Amino acid sequence: MLVNALLYYFRTVLKRDSFEINLPRPRKEHHLPTVLTMEECFRIFRSIDNPKHKLLLLIGYGAGLRRSEIVALKWADIFFDEHKMHIKQAKGNKDRMVMLPYSIVAYLKDYRNLYPSDDWVFTGQYKGEALSTRTVQQVMHDAVAKAGLEKKATVHTLRHSFATHLLESGTDIRYIQQLMGHSSIKTTMIYTHITPKAERKIVSPLDNLVQSNLPPKKIEK
């Protein structure tokens, strides 16, 4: 902030447009995101009794959605026959298609009968309003506490867990990039650093070659 203040003073007050301060800027710290195991995710979902609250977290994890994307979801955006959801005007004003998990289709239809609406999937307190993102975060906070998890987990943690679990199951990282709505593959690549399970599956091409073609031989002196 001091550097910016000096630049403003010399350029704006003293009118020295060419004034520069060439100092090395500190690098931004890059922290790996918190990720839940599948068992921890299950404990969170199991701890919720309210069907509306349970479903919004199930969709958040099942499709890798942000809080803002969960509350912006409309019934017209859900294509049951295609098992897809249309996420509109997400981060960066981008649209994308994501999966509608088969496992929640029946639950979603039952929920609609319980909470009838022609517009928002998750309605707010007042008619015509969508649920607030703050409410979604509070639902997650309460569920994590009730599940007895020691990790600090937010709704975005479910999104990170979605991507990590896909990677661990062998999904191509470029498909994960599309589902997450990342502009750059570099953003998605962070999940390769937090999935030891996937790392254990990596096999040397030499091992594959030996296994499929060459019988192992002992080294003789």
Identify whether 19 is part of a domain. Answer: no
Identify whether 121 is part of a domain. Answer: yes
Active site residues per annotation? 66, 91, 156, 159, 182, 191
Q: pLDDT tier at 219 (50, 70, 90 boundaries)?
A: very low
Return the pLDDT at 197. Answer: 63
Q: How many domains does the chain have?
A: 1
Instruction: Taking residues 7-35, report their average pLDDT.
Output: 64
Identify whether 3 is part of a domain. Answer: no
| Domain range for 118 | 38-198
Judged by average pLDDT, the poorest of 91-105, 116-130, 201-215 is: 201-215
Question: Which 3-state string (H, E, C) describes the chain?
Answer: CHHHHHHHHHHHHCCCCCCCCCCCCCCCCCCCCCCCCHHHHHHHHHCCCCHHHHHHHHHHHHHCCCHHHHHCCEHHHEECCCCEEEECCCCCCCCEEEECCHHHHHHHHHHHHHCCCCCECCECCCCCCECCHHHHHHHHHHHHHHHCCCCCCCHHHHHHHHHHHHHHCCCCHHHHHHHHCCCCHHHHHHHHHCCHHHHHCCCCHHHHHHHHHCCCCCCCC
Identify whether 4 is part of a domain. Answer: no
What's the CA gap between 153 and 143, in Å, rounded?
Answer: 10
Judged by average pLDDT, the poorest of 44-53, 97-106, 186-195 is: 186-195
pLDDT digit string (tens) for 108-119? 999 999 888 879
Identify whether 146 is part of a domain. Answer: yes
Identify whether 31 is part of a domain. Answer: no
CATH number at residue 158: 1.10.443.10
**Nearest Cα to 158, choosing from 77, 49, 29, 48?**
48
More confidently predicted of 127 and 137:
137
Identify whether 207 is part of a domain. Answer: no
Identify whether 90 is part of a domain. Answer: yes
Cα–Cα separations (whole angstroms), residue 65 to 90, 141, 150, 197 = 10, 17, 23, 23
192 token code pair: 């390769």
